[in-house]
A and B are shown apart, each in its own frame.
Chain A
């Protein structure tokens, strides 16, 4: 009796919740735990309840999965995104995969090709060229953009190198001059660290000399 009452009460609550949700009700109406669970599609009797990691169907160690999720050489989160849009993109993708000029950038960049109008490009990407190529840092900053591929892989590699120069965190500066870069917090005429009596004696001598010079 108790179970029937609670079941019906919860059913009425679920009815109201479903009505309030603007989206839609789930396929099965809610009920109490006493009734069989609705089959949304996970067969949990097949899950062992212990940590297991599978990559391409074979069981692997946790570390291997974490490494794969971080990217093979460059973590995906730090890789540049090269987005090639529109007609002629297959040539660019092929060059990126095979041409020696672009070999140094292969691991560093994550390259994808799209037809114009793909939802991945909404909003913000503009397609004017055949193809249009965007090179972006992981935060989305556009490092380079070109609307044609007339220069071929060599020109694209040069553009990537130029973008790399501007984004390097540690830039080599062999012509750096420390004297041209003073610590501006220091005083203009710094005094050496001497005992105060020496400064006092020096000041006295200066006063005597000044007095004698005026007298003469």
Chain B
């Protein structure tokens, strides 16, 4: 693979321009739940609970429901936790109305109460910031990786927002369980909306774990 790439160099020099790709950020990075400057994620879902995205019955991805599983695990909310596996035998792909429909159907079939949750669309970051501050883990759209994952290309995808601080925002990508992708707020906004205002977030309203105990 290495030598093949060098064989291509003369041909690339003849090409007038590269294809349009998102610029790779100099600040965004892939790391763990703690950055080297000491910044920690706000919502630290243990890596052993991360799930990997997969396809539904038609092969279309279940990233929306994988993100809902992360949110459900975080909040210990049984319906969001169970939806991902329940969708394995159903067609993949997700959008707001489908999520409402699937949650309703699952609750009816399983005899469970509807969990409280909010869905927002657009490019408004304030609800996401407030949600993270309140200890709620949103699932958020993710169109481009600021660190160059997916070759820097556009990918309609859903991940989980796990930090929304003044300096760093961070996401947990269900295609890369075990890692956290850190970025600036501006980079998150670009990734969340793709510059077209097509951001979409699912925020369960069941609170997450209690804070770690500390002495007075």
Question: Is A180 engaged at the interface, CB distance under 8 Å to the other chain?
Answer: no
Q: Which of A24, A40, A83 contacts B63 (CB 8 A)?
A: A40
CB within 8 Å for A3 and B214 given contacts A9-B8, A37-B155, A66-B130: no
- B157 cross-chain contacts in A, Cβ below 8 A: 40-42
A120 adjacent to B215 (CB under 8 Å): no
A23 adjacent to B153 (CB under 8 Å): no
CA A3 to CA B17, docked complex, whole Å: 10
Interface centre among A118, A120, A143 (most CB of B within 10 A): A120
- A51 cross-chain contacts in B, Cβ below 8 A: 120-124, 197
B197 adjacent to A76 (CB under 8 Å): no
Smallest beta-carbon distance A202→chain B, Å = 56
Interface centre among B52, B62, B130, B148 (most CB of A within 10 A): B130
A30 adjacent to B198 (CB under 8 Å): no
Question: Is B43 engaged at the interface, CB distance under 8 Å to the other chain?
Answer: no
Q: Which secondary structure characterizes the binding site on chain A?
A: mixed
Q: How many residues of A contact B (CB 8 A)?
A: 78
A27 adjacent to B134 (CB under 8 Å): no
Question: Is A139 engaged at the interface, CB distance under 8 Å to the other chain?
Answer: yes
- Tell me the chain B residues, 116-142 only, with Cβ under 8 Å from chain A: 116-124, 126-127, 130-131, 133-136, 141
Question: Is B46 engaged at the interface, CB distance under 8 Å to the other chain?
Answer: yes
CA A2 to CA B15, docked complex, whole Å: 6
Smallest beta-carbon distance A193→chain B, Å = 47
- B100 cross-chain contacts in A, Cβ below 8 A: 54, 57
- B123 cross-chain contacts in A, Cβ below 8 A: 51
Smallest beta-carbon distance A72→chain B, Å = 10
B197 adjacent to A46 (CB under 8 Å): no
Q: Which of B18, B198, B207, B216 contacts A44 (CB 8 A)?
A: B198
A4-34 Cβ-contact flags toward B at 8 Å (1 or 0): 0111111111111100011110110011111
Interface centre among A26, A49, A70, A139 (most CB of B within 10 A): A26
Question: Is B1 engaged at the interface, CB distance under 8 Å to the other chain?
Answer: yes
> Which residues in A have some Cβ–Cβ distance to B below 8 Å?
1-3, 5-17, 21-24, 26-27, 30-34, 37-44, 46-57, 62, 65-66, 68-71, 75-77, 81, 83, 110, 112, 114, 118-125, 134, 136, 138-143
Closest 5 CB pairs of A and B: A30-B151, A51-B122, A41-B61, A46-B95, A140-B211
> Which residues in B have some Cβ–Cβ distance to A below 8 Å?
1, 4-5, 8, 11-12, 15-16, 18-21, 30, 46, 49, 52-55, 59-66, 76, 92-98, 100, 104, 114, 116-124, 126-127, 130-131, 133-136, 141, 143, 148-158, 175-179, 194, 196-198, 200, 203, 205, 207-216
